[in-house]
Chains A and B, each alone.
Chain A
Amino acid sequence: MAEVIALSPALDPRDRGGPLQPMLIARDLRKHFPVKGARGKSVQAVDGVSFTVRKGETLGIVGESGCGKTTLARLLLHLIVPDAGELIFDGEAVNAPDGLSVNALRRQVQMVFQDSYSSLNPRMPIRDSVAFGPFIQGREKPEARNIARDILAKVGLDPDLFGP
């Protein structure tokens, strides 16, 4: 516990809750999908999941296929709305009246998809795919492209090879 706190960055402007505030708290998340044709029956994809992730921690979720791992991940991003339960990101309740808006959450959380072929728009060069996030969050196009170039360079990719 003490080590985790020591590892977390001391002064990051994005760190709003402070080092002791858990990064993400899920409380009793639930999502049931109604089954077509069967009245009243439903698939209990996620049924009362609770966990806490502290800053600097990594959480792995393991399970057989179809047990709701992806549904849980989609719930964490509010890509699907939970039937019940609470999501607290850095001390702020997500989608609550006085909490964090879904759009503000999406500025800070992203998902990495399994299938790299369908994760990237074939019509866009990689640079524009990377720049899409900042662009859609309100940056100007040239500025977003510069951010994307920086990111590509940071991960060891030559930006000139990934966009015209």
Chain B
Amino acid sequence: MADIVALDRPLDAFAEQAPPATRVRGYWQSVFYRLRHDPVTLVFASIVLLIVLAALFAPLIAPFDPYKESIVGRLKPFGWREHLLGTDELGRDMLSRLLYGGRISLSMGVVPVLIATLIGGMLGVIGGFAGGRVNTAIMRTMDVFYAFPSVLLAVAIAGAMGGGIGNGMLALTLVFTPPMCRVAETATTQVRALDYIEAARASGASTAAIIRYHVLGNVLGPVFIYASSLVSVAILLASGLSFLGLGVRPPTPDWGLMLSTLRQSIYVVPAVCAVPGVAIFITSICFNLVSDGLRAAMDVRM
């Protein structure tokens, strides 16, 4: 009972309360704040970073020349004469080939997704914002590509134009543009119907200004998240193309190609044959988990 203090003017009790001490963050600040407090994403993001760095600095880290063959040292197990991950069917060091192969596999994963995001995202935003016939024209064209199974389309394109890294990337870009376009189009259509777009127009903003200040920011989130999840798919597809002989050509080291050429030796050194597969698996899992973390961190409505 002693706690209760009689007040002449009860409202003063609220008036004297200091406002809660809150730090106001901008959008990107709040995204980084949420990421910092998400240990799972941080761990997997650092693994991704490690893989990228390892591939980038392959010439410095690789213990052997990835092209150096050895007749006597073929298909040796882990740890044979300083070959930490053994040797492949031509006696080349697996670790070195894995590091060098990461350069091609990763760029096959990132570059097509990047180009597809730019092209698909642009077409999607234009179609979604314009609506009507423009949208129908763009989306139905995309649907034509969408109708093919992605692997089949990639194989068909790479097959028609011949193998090689460039054509493989082009094939993957064509495969990823339609879904990217659809994600951007859906996000744009949703945003376009909201009142703040109308309010911006009522303030006198031009269509370009509305897209620049109100649409792009809201479309970027879903597009970025989808792109990061596509990277793992792209790495797998690129490996698949190389496996089928439509991507990278031997003797260039590439994870998919290594898996393909080593598969005949699976009964001789099973562990060594699994190494490129494990690398592909870990990389794509990490990209997927980072993408999930980004999805959580970038959702403004949470």
A136/B199 contact (C-beta < 8 A), A122-B301, A161-B22 known:
no
A123 contacts B27, CB within 8 Å?
yes
**Min C-beta distance of B136 to chain A, whole Å:** 15
A133 contacts B203, CB within 8 Å?
yes
Identify which of residues 114-139 in chain A touch chain B, using a CB-to-CB cut-off of 8 Å. 115, 118-125, 129, 132-133, 136-137
Quick check: is B60 within 8 A (CB to CB) of the other chain? no
B196 contacts A136, CB within 8 Å?
no
Given A113-B198, A119-B195, A133-B204, 11 new contacts (CB under 8 A): A106-B204, A113-B199, A120-B196, A121-B214, A123-B300, A124-B27, A125-B27, A132-B200, A158-B19, A160-B24, A161-B22
**Min C-beta distance of A101 to chain B, whole Å:** 10
Mask for A64-102, Cβ within 8 A of B = 1, else 0? Answer: 000000000000010100000000000000000000000
The 4 closest A-B pairs by CB, nearest first: A106-B204, A113-B195, A123-B217, A164-B26
**Min C-beta distance of B277 to chain A, whole Å:** 41
B199 contacts A111, CB within 8 Å?
yes
B residues lining the A interface (CB < 8 Å): 19, 22, 24-27, 29, 194-196, 198-205, 209, 213-214, 217-218, 300-301
CA distance A62 to B164 in the complex (A): 69
A119 contacts B203, CB within 8 Å?
no
A122 contacts B218, CB within 8 Å?
yes
Interface residues of B: mostly helix, strand, loop or mixed? helix
A161 contacts B19, CB within 8 Å?
yes
Greatest chain A CB density within 10 A among B195, B209, B301 is at B195
Instruction: Please indicate the chain A residues that have their CB under 8 angstroms from the CB of B27 in the complex.
Output: 123-125
Instruction: Please indicate the chain A residues that have their CB under 8 angstroms from the CB of B195 in the complex.
Output: 113, 115, 118-119
Instruction: Please indicate the chain B residues that have their CB under 8 angstroms from the CB of A118 in the complex.
Output: 194-196
**Min C-beta distance of B197 to chain A, whole Å:** 9
